[in-house]
Amino acid sequence: MPSESFVREMPKVELHVHLEGSIRPETVLKLSKRNDVPLPADTVEGLREWYTFRDFPHFVDVYVAVSKCIVTPDDVELITREFLEGQKAQNVLHSEVTYTASTIEKYNKIPWPDQLAALNRAREYGEKELGITMNVIVDIVRGDEPERALEVARWAAEAQGNGVCALGLAGEERLGTAQYREAFELAQAAGLPIAAHAGETQGTQSIKEVLEIAKANRIGHGVRCIEDHAVVRELRDRQIPLEVCPTSNVRLGVFPSLEEHPLPRLLDQGLYVTVNSDDPPMFGTTLTDEFQRTSKAFEFTDDILWTLSLNAARAAFLPEGQKRELMQKMREGFSEIE
What are the tens digits of pLDDT across the range 275-313?
Answer: 999 999 989 999 999 999 999 999 999 999 999 999 999
Q: Which residue has the higher pLDDT, 64 or 222?
A: 222
Instruction: Kindly report the pTM of this predicted structure.
Output: 0.96
Termini Cα distance of the chain: 14
Average pLDDT of the residues of the chain: 95
Residue 1: what pLDDT?
72
Q: What is the mean pLDDT of residues 140-150?
A: 97
Catalytic residue from among 200, 209, 243, 290: 200
Q: What is the pLDDT of residue 152?
A: 98
Residue 140, by phi and psi: left (phi above 0), alpha (psi -120 to 50) or beta? Answer: beta
Residue 196 confidence (pLDDT): 98
85 is catalytic: no
What are the boundaries of each domain within the chain? 4-337
CATH class of 4-337: alpha beta
- The predicted pLDDT at position 55 comes to 72
Q: For residue 98, what pLDDT is reported?
A: 98
Answer with the residue of higher pLDDT: 281 or 198. 198
User: pLDDT of 2-47, one tens digit each?
Assistant: 788 999 999 999 999 999 999 988 999 999 999 999 988 889 888 8
Q: What is the mean pLDDT of residues 255-281?
A: 97
Confidence band of 60 (pLDDT split at 50, 70, 90): confident
* Interacting residues of 118 by C-beta distance below 8 A, sequence separation 6+: 73, 74, 76, 77, 80
The pLDDT of residue 337 is above 90? no
